[in-house]
Every structure is written in structure tokens, then in C-alpha cells.
Amino acid sequence: MGLKLRKIVIIGAGHVGTMCGLSLMYRGEVDELVYIDIDREKAYSQALDLDDAVSLFPHQITVRTGDYGDVEDADVIVMAAGVSRLPGQTRLDMLDDSIRIMKEVASHMQGLHIPGILISISNPADIVADYLRKQLDLPKNRCFSTGTSLDSCRLRRILSQKMHLDRSSIQAFVMGEHGDSQMIPFSAVHISGKPLLQWMKDDTVRYGKLDLVQIEEETANAGHEVIEGKGSTEFGIGIALSEIVRSIFHDSKKVLPVSPLLEGEYGQYGIHAGVPCIIGKDGIEQVIEISLTDKEKEKFENSCGVIREYISHIS
């Protein structure tokens, strides 16, 4: 019996969807990559361009365009459809356009058998994931957003630069909305097992002046900075998505910050928000609840309140 080929369908052939596909290809995490886009000519051209690269890969990959029927035997579906965020826009400013697009996409997928795991990247990420899960009637473990996974990469970069330490030694993540109301549980940030707050206390000369408020603001604004400079973000989210997919295909049980449906965890019900989760072959296998300080709980609750408010605006 041959090995099962891993099929991934990416809906949306723009900057983000294409970079996600390329990241998956480079990391050897896909055997068949299928693009679906309302602009079929663009999807075809993107797939053809990616397919040219396969000639120099050490492994064979099929890259092609398809239709919504392809989701019925896909292992993973990546939702990357949407409009680009403009300079000065927040992710929540994109809500109306994103839901209009999601309604169109969902209309093609409703009634189809969807056995795979749907990972949404489209912004506003938490709200779109909630909408798709409801419209497609998918179980919570198989429909979620990348959430704060990219924000967490940005946080580690910023901490690494400010502390002059290798970012691979930093264990840190962002929680809440993938947006301006996100928060950082600094009490849970560790560098090689030692709490960040202890580093600041033990070495006041080198680390005591770290401005945690500024770090939180820089992390939240990192996406805006990229948008202002080049018009889109693509590389970071491509790798973040491929890391999630890798944990699924290898059943790695890796703990990653994504945006699942919360049903009582952290005292939140009925919304998607960024929290650390165990990711394995069935998607989200467990939401990890960490201890938060009272101030951190307040910030997380505020962020969830923002998500909840915007979900209520969807008709």
C-alpha cells in the first residue's frame, strides 16, 4: 500500500494564499496543492508559477487550479480569500467586505462533505473563523483561525531584538484578538525556562528597563508597519500556517497560539479567540489554560469583548 498523498486546497490566490502554498512546498508538507479563486486566470497563473519551482524541488508536488468539489477529499482547506488591508485600516475595518466574500464562498461549500480541517487566515481572523464554522456546520476542532500565531512570531522577534537573545530560546505568545485589542501574558513569558519578569528583576542593568507596555504596542502595530511599507503581509503568515499544518500532518501535539471556539475556557463562551492549543492530526486537540494575573485576565476579557461585539454585527 502506497503512502497517502497530502492534499491541501487554498481558497484565495492572492499574496497570502500564494505564500502559504510556497511555504508548504518548501517545507515538504504537501503533495497536491489546489488553488480556488473567483479570478480563475489569476489562480491558474499563480499555480503555474509555483509549479515551475517544483522542477528544482527534491520531491514531486502537483500544483493546479480546481473547484469547490476539491474540498471533499482535501486533508486541509486554507481560507485565504479576502481583500487586502489598506494602510491605516484595522482588521476590523475589513469586516463587511470579508463577510460578503465569505458568504459567497460558503454558498459553494454548503452541502459538500468536508472531512478535512479548515484553517482560516482571512481577516478579521477570529470573526471569520466563527462565521465559517457556523455556516459550514463544522466541529470546533476542525475549523479555526491562525489567530495570534503570527503576532506571537512578531513578539518573539521584538523580545529577541530588545534583549539581544536568540529568539529560539524565547517562549512567548499573544492572546485574544488577532488585532489591535490583543494582549500579551507577560507573566507566562519565559526565556529558557526562566520567567521574563525574573530576568528583569535579576539583571536590572540589562533588562530592568524593558518597557512592557511599549513591547505590547509594538507587537500589535507590527502588521500596520508592514502594510504601510509594502502593502501586504505574506512571509510571516505563510510560515505560521505551514507550522500548524506540519503539526497536523505529523500529529506533533505542538502547542501553538491559534483561534478556536471557546466553550468555557478562560471564562469565555461562544467566540473564537487566540489561545495556546495542542495541535495534532485531528486539529485542535486541547485548549491550554494558563494562569493569568488579574490585570491580564481583564485585558483578555476586554479583547474577547471586542470580538463578541463585532460578531453581533453580522447579519
DSSP summary character for residue 38: S
Helix, strand, coil distribution of the chain in percent, nearest 5: 50, 20, 35
Residue 85's pLDDT band (cuts 50, 70, 90): low
Of all residues in the chain, the percent with pLDDT exceeding 70 is 96
Could you read off the pLDDT of 8-32 as tens digits, one per residue?
999 999 999 999 999 999 999 999 9
What is the residue-averaged pLDDT of the chain? Answer: 94
Establish whether 178 is a catalytic residue. yes
Cα dihedral sign, 196-198-201-203? negative
Instruction: Report the b/e string of 243-257 with b at 16+ CB within 10 A.
Output: bbbbbbbeeeeeebb
Question: Is pLDDT at 2 greater than 60 in this prediction?
Answer: no
Question: So what's the pLDDT on residue 90?
Answer: 67
Question: Is pLDDT at 86 greater than 80 in this prediction?
Answer: no
**What is the pLDDT averaged over residues 231-253?**
95
Strands 143-145 and 117-120: parallel
Cell for 26?
518548501
Residue 109's pLDDT band (cuts 50, 70, 90): very high
Q: Does the pTM of the predicted model rise above 0.85?
A: yes
Residue 82's pLDDT band (cuts 50, 70, 90): confident
Residue pointed to by grid coordinates 489554560: 289
For residue 257, whether the previous peptide bond is cis, meaning omega lies within 30 degrees of 0, is no
Let me know the angle formed at the C-alpha of 110 by 281 and 249, rounded to the nearest 5 degrees: 15
To the nearest 10 degrees (0 to 180), the angle between helices 235-249 and 15-26 is 50
Amino acid residing at 101: I
135 vs 91: which has the higher pLDDT: 135
Question: So what's the pLDDT on residue 233?
Answer: 86
Catalytic residue among 178, 190, 224, 313: 178
Question: Is pLDDT at 276 greater than 60 in this prediction?
Answer: yes
Could you read off the pLDDT of 53-62 as tens digits, one per residue?
999 999 999 9
Burial class, 261, CB count within 10 angstroms (exposed 0-12 / middle 13-18 / buried 19+): buried
Phi-psi region of 251 (alpha: psi -120 to 50; beta: other; left: phi over 0): left
Could you read off the pLDDT of 131-145 as tens digits, one per residue?
999 999 999 999 999
Instruction: Report the b/e string of 82-91 with b at 16+ CB within 10 A.
Output: beebeeeeeb
Residue 80 burial (CB count, 10 A): 27
Could you read off the pLDDT of 155-200 as tens digits, one per residue?
999 999 999 999 999 999 999 999 999 999 999 999 999 999 999 9
In whole angstroms, how far apart are CA 259 and each of 63, 68, 136, 185, 304? 28, 24, 17, 16, 11
Could you read off the pLDDT of 284-303 as tens digits, one per residue?
999 999 999 999 999 999 99
DSSP summary character for residue 108: H
Question: Is pLDDT at 1 greater than 50 in this prediction?
Answer: no
Question: So what's the pLDDT on residue 83?
Answer: 74
Amino acid residing at 26: Y
Question: Is pLDDT at 88 greater than 80 in this prediction?
Answer: no
Distance CA 14, CA 81 (A): 8
3-state SS class at 259: strand
Question: So what's the pLDDT on residue 110?
Answer: 95
Could you read off the pLDDT of 198-232 as tens digits, one per residue?
999 999 999 999 999 999 999 999 988 988 888 88
